[in-house]
């Protein structure tokens, strides 16, 4: 299975015209790419342009969903809605959603609903800080256990886990994560999955890294064992995004 590069556009850009332009330029940048799956997770309104974009180079996803398939849930967006627009992936549990009040239990409901709909959840976990006593590992384990509750053995392999340490995110990141720091967590994640399921299942789980990824450090995380990358602001800059993909190809 090849590497996966996931673009998270967050609440950008301002207009559908700009979104079309960014996608058009991105396709130019990655047209020669081989062996790498590129997933672009768009804001809900921009998913409407997916079906009109004929490309085998990009798969699309959403940045959130509501776990119920329909009903009186004003302002929410369901899985059948995003499926009808061509989405195949869903980012769940992103730190920015957690900051708005999403709990592990809410995220777990969304994970289960996404799997039931036969879409791929991209489950984000991450700690706000690291301590010398290693309590952050217990925090990550708790996130994993609660977010994966009731996920059957037959479905766990369909989840991508994205490790995004909060201390490494954004332009004012306190510390840029290293490939060794990621590798430590990747091993830990697979150990937790192994304890919950078994070693074979743990080895099949894809673990991606997200947190201030840019063209100069992307290949380091891949060389460190990452199965993919979750990219924020640089995914909106086609030339930088293209450089990141080419650096790991």
Q: What domains, with CATH codes, occur in the chain? A: 3-248 (3.20.20.70)
Specify whether 150 is catalytic.
no
- Contact between 247 and 219 under an 8 Å Cβ cutoff? The reply is yes
Specify whether 94 is catalytic.
yes
**pLDDT average, residue stretch 51-60:** 84
What integer pLDDT is reported at residue 132 of this predicted model? 84
pLDDT single digits (tens) 192-241? 999 999 999 999 999 999 988 999 999 999 999 999 999 999 999 999 99
Annotated catalytic residue, options 29, 164, 179, 181: 164
**What whole-number distance in Å separates Cα of residue 149 and Cα of residue 189?**
15
**Average confidence score pLDDT of the chain:** 94
Tabulate helix, strand, coil % of the chain (nearest 5).
45, 15, 40
pLDDT single digits (tens) 10-38? 999 999 999 999 999 999 999 888 899 99
Annotated catalytic residue, options 94, 96, 127, 181: 94
Q: Whole-structure pTM over 0.85, yes or no?
A: yes
pLDDT single digits (tens) 130-184? 888 889 999 999 999 999 999 999 999 999 999 999 999 875 556 778 999 999 9
């Amino acid at each position: 299975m090849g590497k996966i590069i996931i673009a998270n556009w967050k609440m950008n850009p301002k207009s559908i015209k700009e979104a079309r332009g960014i996608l058009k330029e991105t396709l130019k940048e990655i047209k020669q790419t081989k062996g790498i799956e590129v997933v672009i997770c768009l804001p809900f309104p921009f998913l409407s342009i997916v079906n009109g974009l004929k490309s085998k180079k990009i798969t699309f996803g959403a940045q959130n969903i509501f776990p119920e398939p329909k009903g009186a849930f004003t302002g929410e967006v369901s899985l059948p809605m995003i499926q009808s627009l061509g989405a195949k992936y869903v980012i769940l549990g992103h730190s920015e959603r957690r900051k708005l009040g999403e709990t592990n239990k809410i995220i777990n409901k969304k994970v289960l609903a996404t799997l039931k709909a036969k879409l791929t959840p991209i489950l984000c976990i991450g700690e706000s800080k690291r301590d010398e006593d290693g309590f952050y590992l217990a925090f990550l384990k708790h996130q994993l256990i609660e977010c994966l509750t009731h996920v059957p053995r037959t479905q766990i392999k369909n989840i991508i886990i994205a490790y995004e340490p909060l201390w490494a995110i954004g332009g004012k990141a306190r510390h840029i994560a290293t490939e060794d720091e990621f590798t430590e967590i990747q091993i830990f994640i697979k150990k937790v999955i192994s304890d919950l399921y078994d070693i074979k299942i743990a080895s099949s789980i894809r673990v991606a890294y997200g947190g201030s990824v840019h063209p100069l450090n992307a290949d380091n995380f891949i060389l460190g064992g990452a199965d993919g990358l979750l990219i924020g602001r640089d995914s909106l800059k086609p030339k930088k995004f293209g450089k990141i993909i080419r650096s790991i190809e």
